[in-house]
Structure formats: structure tokens, C-alpha cells
Chain A
């Protein structure tokens, strides 16, 4: 009974979360574009699916992903093995990014741009090779980012020095990178962190910061995602410089 009640509540929450999208789309469709909504029944069914999906996702977060991430953070802290923790951090970043659908889409587009620009041969093979190289580069950079982020939590370094250094890195790379890759590189920072990676990585960071003495979960626990969205920009431009 308690579970049913919790589910109804999260269902209502999801409906509220989705209302703005529905309002925006309806307003523009009917008032600005003055077009009828095509296939209304199908769209309503889709909205129902989205609502149900979001509710299930939120329930699953609290039952599975959050406790698991925190639990692993505590276990690593108790075990006291820094090497294993860092290997885990790197693999988590690398493993979750290499399979990320948004990244696969972006690297395919990047290969398309490179082929049109004459940087690589306009064959399927050359494009696939280029896209895979790019994907690997980004995954490597995210693994590296989570690794650095975990070291930061352990050492208690202030985050902004690292981030500002990253910004300087991005600006310097922008000077040297070929023009056509800059847009893709900047976008790749945002697309790497998927819906499953974010909760897990956040729980890991907060869990680590709470289990290490002298760390504040608010100040030290967050920030892993920030690194993961900054390093791909630098690495993708670097990839552009090397392959171009």
C-alpha cells in the first residue's frame, strides 16, 4: 500500500514535470504556427508513456542507483585501496561513455563534416574509422575526468582552480584546432554524461566526500560531472589537430 501511494505521488510529480513542454508545444502549434496537432491520439499515448517512464525512473533511482553508488563509495573508503578506487573511477567514466548513444550520433556527424571538408576520404570506411577514433578519444577523456575528480575529492582541492585551468585549456586549443571541429568539440562536452551515469557518479562523489574525514559532501562531493563535461572539449580539439 505504501509503495502504491509512493508511486502515485511520483506519477503526479512526473505529470507536473512534463506540463511545461506540453504547454509550450500546444501554444506554438495553435497560436503561433496555427497548425492543427497531427495524430493527436498517438501523441497523447506518447505523453502517457513518458510520464510513466519518468516515474519508474525516479523510483528506481532511490531504490537502486543511489544506494549502490554510495555503498561502493563507502566500501572503497573502508578498504582504503586508492589504486582500486582510481581504476574504478576511470573505468566508470570510460565504460559509460563509449556506449553512449548521443556520443555515437555526434561522432558520426563529426565524421560527416570531416569528410565534406576533405580532411578524410569520403568513404564509409574512412568515416567509420574517424568516428570510432573520436568516440574512443571522448571516452578516454571522460575516464580521465572522473579519475581527476576523485583525486580532487580525496585531496580536498578547491574545484575552481581545476575548472579554470580546464577553461584555459579549451581557449588555447580553440586557437590551434581546425575551425570545423570547434562546434562539435564544444557540443561533445554536454552530450557525454548520460541519464544513468549522472546519478551513479553523483552518488559516488557525495558518498566519497561523506565517508572521508574533513570533507564536506556539498563542497567536495559535487563536481565530477563538471570535469566530465570539460575534458572532452579539449580532447576532441586535440583529436582534430592530430588527425587534421
Chain B
């Protein structure tokens, strides 16, 4: 019984928090609907139900994350970056020097957690649903999500490498920008806006807290790094690399389609 009341207590606050998040949006929409547009919303009841679903759904989602995945994910980030795990036979308090390759498992974990949290990201799902609808099936729901997830995985793994080596963040980001600009001139035109969008949508509810914990954990334990200066920047990586991977996804699709076209031509 205490479990249930405990749950309801937390759930109540989680609904309140989501409501606080949604209220400004509802205010703006209703204000414009009634004062400027002055037309009733079609299927008003259904839209309201939709909002209730969204709010309840997000509240449950966040509650579940906070109860289960965040504490575990943070704990794992701490354990993986702990010198006791990185250096065999380490005695607590002893000075240590690390090589970037010692953090092998951290990079793998960063990539794996980046990939898997992106697949579960609700904002990305929303954009992928719209994109597959609008593109008439050329961009598929899973094609886009996997392309974005690969981008996030590479981005976060590279981001953890940057924290370990202590190289300046803006070199990586500027290099990424240059790749994006070059790709823009070669990628199919219809994918470009979607690719740019996919940078911003990847990092919201699920990815940010887990990735931030990993970044801070690393910056605190790697000798010579400061949590304040080096702990940031992982999100930036996670929002840049999907742009590259989504454009690459479309480019690869184009190459395959051309190749198939050639094959069928030679068949004739």
C-alpha cells in the first residue's frame, strides 16, 4: 500500500511538472485561437484528449526514467570512469597517469548509450513520424531513427575521447561544421532541412541527463581535467553528428538507387 501511495505522490508531482512545462504553450495556442484566428478547433474534444495523453504519457515516462534508468545510468557512468575500474591494481589515493586508450570501455559505453537512448527519444520519434508521412515513404521511420542514432553514438564517443585527451571543443565542432557544409552541396536537396533538424531533436528527455552524467564523471576523474571547463560539450557533439549521418544516409540511399538503376538498365 505504501508503494502505491508513494507512487501516486511522485506521479502527482511529475504531472504538475509536465503541466508547468506545457501551460505556456497551451496559453499561447488558446490565446491565438480565440483572439486572432477566432475559429473553433475541429475535433476539439479529441485534441483535448490528445493533450491529456501527451501530458500523462510524458509524466509517466519521466517518472519511470527517474526511478529506474537515470540512477542506474549515472551509477554506471561513475563506475566506468572510476580509476579503480580503469587501472588494474590501483590503490585508493595513489597518483595515476592514464593513456587515452585506457578508457576503451568508456568510449564503447558512450556509443552504446548514445545509440540506445536516441532510439527511445520521443521528440525524434515525432519528427520521424512526420518525415515518413511527408516524404511518402522515401524516408522511413526506422531508417531515420537509426541514422540519427548512429550519429549520436559516434558523436558522444568522440566527445568522451575529447574529454579524456583535453583537446579544445571548438576544433571538433568547427571540423564538423566543415563536413556538414561540404555534404550539403552533395546530398539530395530534400533531405537537407530534415538532416539539420535531426541535430536538435536528438538530445532531449532521455539522452541529456545520462550523457551529462557521463561527461561530468569523466571530467572529475581524469587527471588534469576540470568538471567546469571540460564537463560540457557532449550535447554539442550529440547534436552535430546526426546532421552528418542523416545526410550520409540519404547519400548512400542515392548511390544504391543509382547502382540498382544501372543494373536494371543492363538487364534490358
Binding site for B on A (CB under 8 A): 17-18, 20-21, 23-25, 27-29, 32-33, 35, 37-38, 42-68, 71-72, 75-76, 79, 81, 84, 88, 91-92, 95-96, 98-102, 112-113, 116-117, 159-160, 163-164, 167, 170-171, 174, 179-180, 182-184, 186-187, 189-200, 202-203, 206, 216-226, 228-229
Contacts and interface: CB of A to CB of B under 8 A. Distances in A.
A95 B173 contact: no
Given A163-B196, A198-B127, A47 B64 contact: yes
A45 B201 contact: no
Contacts of B52: 60
A190 B55 CA distance: 22
Interface of B: 17, 20-25, 27-29, 32-33, 36-37, 39, 41-43, 46-69, 72-73, 75-76, 79-80, 85, 105, 109, 112-113, 115-117, 119-120, 122-123, 125-127, 129-131, 134-135, 169-170, 173-174, 177, 180-181, 184, 189-190, 192-194, 196-197, 199-206, 208, 228-236, 238-239
A194 B21 contact: yes
Contacts, number: 338
Nearest to A91: B28
Contact of A193 (B41, B76, B123, B131): B123
A198 B53 contact: no
Q: 5 closest A-B pairs (Cβ-Cβ)?
A: A64-B50, A46-B68, A60-B53, A56-B57, A49-B64
9 contacts: A20-B119, A28-B112, A49-B64, A64-B48, A95-B27, A194-B205, A196-B54, A202-B126, A223-B196
Contacts of B29: 68, 72
Nearest to B85: A33
B47 A63 contact: yes
Contacts of A84: 32, 36
Contacts of B125: 17, 58
Contact of B60 (A33, A52, A160, A198): A52
A125 B126 CA distance: 39
B54 A200 contact: no
B189 A225 contact: no
A219 B67 contact: no
Contacts of B28: 88, 91-92, 95
B200 A202 contact: no
B68 A47 contact: yes
A42 B196 contact: no
Given A25-B72, A50-B61, A76-B37, A218 B135 contact: yes
Contacts of B116: 20-21, 23-24
B119 A183 contact: no
Given A28-B80, A88-B32, A206-B130, 12 more contacts: A21-B69, A33-B80, A54-B57, A59-B57, A63-B46, A81-B36, A174-B174, A187-B233, A190-B202, A191-B235, A193-B204, A225-B199
Nearest to A159: B193
A81 B230 CA distance: 47
Contacts of B60: 49-50, 52-53, 56
